[in-house]
Structure 1
Amino acid sequence: MIGNERKAAAKKSFSMATVLATAKKLASKITTLHLAVIFVIASIFLAYICVAPPTDLPNWPLYRINTRIWQSLERFGKHVKPYHLRVLTSASQHFESRVLFLITYMDVPDHLHNAGKPLSCEELKTLIDEGNVEPVNLPYLCRVLHAASHFDFLVEAEEHKYELSELGKYLVKSHPKSLNGYVQMIAGDEAFIIATALSRSIFTGNSGFKETYREELLEHLKSDLSFQEIFDRGMADNARLVAPAIIADYPSFGSCKHICDIGGGVGSFLYSVLEYYVYGIKGTVFDLTDVIDGAKKFLEEKSVTHEKISLHTGDFFKNIPEFGCDCYILKDILNNWSDEASNVILNNLFAAVARGNRVLIIERVLHTGGAAEETFKTQMDLTMMAFNPSHSRLRTEEEMYFLLEQSGFVEPQTYPTRAGYSIIESFPDKKQT
């Protein structure tokens, strides 16, 4: 009996030794290349499961994992790419923006989406020419489409036909997260001209827009209705894209009864909030007269009644009425103005907000995200140099807190969101009388 036990123990010991020896043998054969391949495969898998459907959001843990992974891969890609190629790529990157604008402007993504199958260059030319007074040049169109496939906006299928890539789907107007309007605003001909004016702005301190048109953006929009439409659609695209994350990551919206969006544009962000919280919350949009005209059209298209969202005209530099709201929003407002102008806005808001009601500053705040997010914010800051009124800029959290405290707002607290925006919540310091 004892002999059998000893044999079993010896057999078990031999099996463990064999397993350990096999493991050591495999480990000795694993090279750095193998580890790199395993890392890339794991990264792609994690990135894939973290990609949200058009109407959903990844949860915070997956979002953080995904962000860390693609930021690491970006840094790795930069380090292995020769320096001279990095310089050459950056120097010619504006052509990628031009191609992105051209295929969007010519409705190529919508033509491919509606066709439901790959189309040749000649077939796309026929569809494009139907909506244009002047026909496009076929050889140039083919070269632009070929370039778009190399920039991953299109996929070049067999027989020199093209179909939409995953990136290209975001250019389709009917896509739930469409960026069609935003691309035409930020990468269009006007934007390109304005961006080149930064070579003058660096000396004058004026915005690129003012150097180009001799007036600031908001003044110009009053007389240029076509650009006003492009601008409104672009801002609405951005609001619709970031709204789900902002709403989900600030659940206190649900405790509000009446939300006022000061400088709320056409009302697209406020509409998203009230659509999410379908019960009992009212909304008010306050903006300039010409902007409110666009808001009326937008809300009519959404079949929103005046009782649900009311529209009021005015100028927040002069006066903000007491609407009786318990939550006031300033989304993408203060970053459009200098510190002095921002203080005027906040002082007027302080006079309108009742004691105990909250104020939410919703903006991209510097130094609150990872490396890739901060790079994007830097690009947005340069965009402001080009488009927005002179001296507009993104600010740090400390700078935002200082502005609020100067105007009498206290208890500032920052809530990060998965949209790259931060929500800074604050309350007016009004003593009980």
Structure 2
Amino acid sequence: MEVPPDPAQVERLATLLQGHAVTQLLASAARFRIPDLLAEDALPVAGISARTGIPVSALNRYLPALEGLGIVRCEPDGTYRVTPLGRLLRSDTGSLHGQALMAGDEYYGAWQELDHCLLTGESAFHARHGRGLWEMAAGKPDLAAGFARTMRWNSARALSDVLALYDFTAARLVVDLGAGDATLLCGVLARYPKARGLAVEQGSMAAHAAATVREAGLDQRCAVQTGDIRRAVPSGGNVYLLKSVIHNWPDAAAVDILRTVRDAMPAGSQLLLVEKAHDSADPQAALRDLTMMVLFAGQDRTPAEYHALLIRAGFTPSAPRLGSSGMCLIAATADSVGHRDAARPMPNTGEPPR
């Protein structure tokens, strides 16, 4: 005789299956900038309708759903106010605004191709959209802006770990490869005023990096260079940074990138590989790893696995160092610097500071 299902388990699974609805509820809040509207004062439903174009009848059904998620709160007088959680979705200061936009659009479609990804190991993002994230961002300013905003949040969280794990006192020129919006590099330069910086990013992201450098007042000490680090890396630095880049790639491509970096590095320079360490004891680790597979056909790795990749690429890596947030930093020197002249020059958006 079949045992009837546990009602609590049924309810739990039914809730999990609503994940798609929750994603779109949050994405719509970000798209209509509802947390922005409610940032200063509570508004009546009619006021929210006037500013978003959403009919009152629809808002009367939508806003209670956002309240159920803890994004807004309905006051006794019927007005709505954004909560501390909802403030994270603000377009001006919210750290997860860009991620919400991507989760509800490009990422959402990519996850619909999960079966293809599991069967082939190929990027589900590419299968869905016909091109990779970087290529799509080049033609979609909103996507590039959302991704840059997400990278700023991630880099800001990692900065304290990087500064705690490595002493940049001897750094003369820090070259940040795949710098995102340059938040990490600017944070390093702010702590070490004698160091100069060079942020290297692809065209769609380089403008965001340049904007961050200007905002930080570091124009005289930091340049932004446009280029694809899979093909060429600038020489001349004595510290090279690769943060959250290698996990975007499967092993063979990751080793190729690392070799390109090694060939460009002058004698005596160091590479700092910074990645979130995969920890099977972390309940979110498997989902983060699968996300890399879906988006890029990449993977998260353990510190030992990153260490092994560096050795395969011709580096002599130090023992991995772990930060309080789970970031892993490995400092590595090149076994051979004889190939560094093979790196091809890349076009500049600005000359590196002298």
After TM superposition, the score normalised by the length of structure 1 is 0.70
Counterpart selection for 2:259 from 347, 366, 375: 347
Where does residue 87 of structure 1 map in the other structure?
13
Counterpart selection for 1:380 from 288, 293, 308: 288
Where does residue 291 of structure 1 map in the other structure?
205
Shift of 1:174: 4.2
SS in 1 for 2:316: strand
SS in 2 for 1:89: helix
SS in 1 for 2:16: helix
Where does residue 148 of structure 1 map in the other structure?
66
Distance 1:431 1:304 in 2: 30
Distance 2:255 2:124 in 1: 24
| Pair member with larger Rg | 1
Letter in 2 for 1:310: A
Query: Is 1:308 aligned to residue 199 of structure 2?
Result: no
Query: Is 1:337 aligned to residue 225 of structure 2?
Result: no
SS in 1 for 2:88: helix
Distance 1:337 1:226, change over 3 A: same
Contact 2:307/2:317 (<8 A) preserved = no
Distance 2:212 2:7 in 1: 46
Letter in 2 for 1:280: K
Where does residue 342 of structure 2 map in the other structure?
none
Where does residue 196 of structure 2 map in the other structure?
282
Moved over 4 A (4+): none
Letter in 1 for 2:234: P
Counterpart selection for 1:215 from 114, 127, 131: 131
Shift of 1:428: 2.2
Query: Is 1:262 aligned to residue 177 of structure 2?
Result: yes
Distance 1:189 1:314, change over 3 A: closer
Tell me how many residue pairs correspond in the alignment: 333
Query: Alpha-carbon deviations, 1:165-222, whole Å to 9, x = none?
Result: 22122223444x622222222x222221221121332233321211112222222222
Greater relative CO, 1 or 2 (CA 8 Å, sep 6+): 2
Query: Is 1:415 aligned to residue 321 of structure 2?
Result: yes
Distance 1:136 1:427 in 2: 57
After TM superposition, the score normalised by the length of structure 2 is 0.85
Distance 1:254 1:247 in 2: 13
Where does residue 302 of structure 2 map in the other structure?
396
Distance 1:223 1:169 in 2: 29
Distance 1:158 1:261, change over 3 A: same
Query: Is 1:172 aligned to residue 85 of structure 2?
Result: no
Contact 1:246/1:421 (<8 A) preserved = yes
Identity of aligned residues (%): 24
Where does residue 233 of structure 2 map in the other structure?
320
Distance 2:293 2:133 in 1: 11
Shift of 1:408: 1.9
Letter in 2 for 1:122: A
SS in 1 for 2:284: helix
The structure carrying a bigger helix percent of its residues is: 1
Contact 2:158/2:327 (<8 A) preserved = no
Q: Report matched runs for 1:115-126 at 5 Å.
A: 115=41, 118-126=42-50
Shift of 1:289: 3.5
Shift of 1:163: 1.8
SS in 2 for 1:158: coil
Distance 2:337 2:209 in 1: 36
Q: Which runs of 5+ in 2 are unaligned?
A: 1-5, 339-354
SS in 2 for 1:413: coil
Counterpart selection for 1:224 from 124, 140, 162: 140
Where does residue 106 of structure 1 map in the other structure?
32
SS in 2 for 1:426: strand
SS in 1 for 2:174: strand
Query: Alpha-carbon deviations, 1:349-398, whole Å to 9, x = none?
Result: 11222344321111112127xx4xx232322222223322xx31111222
Distance 2:145 2:309 in 1: 32
Q: Which runs of 5+ in 1 are unaligned?
A: 1-79, 129-134
Distance 1:161 1:431, change over 3 A: closer
Distance 1:312 1:236 in 2: 18
Contact 1:261/1:283 (<8 A) preserved = yes
Distance 2:125 2:181 in 1: 22
Distance 1:216 1:244, change over 3 A: closer
Distance 1:359 1:167 in 2: 37
SS in 2 for 1:424: strand
Letter in 1 for 2:48: L
Stretch moving more, 341-350 or 205-214: 205-214
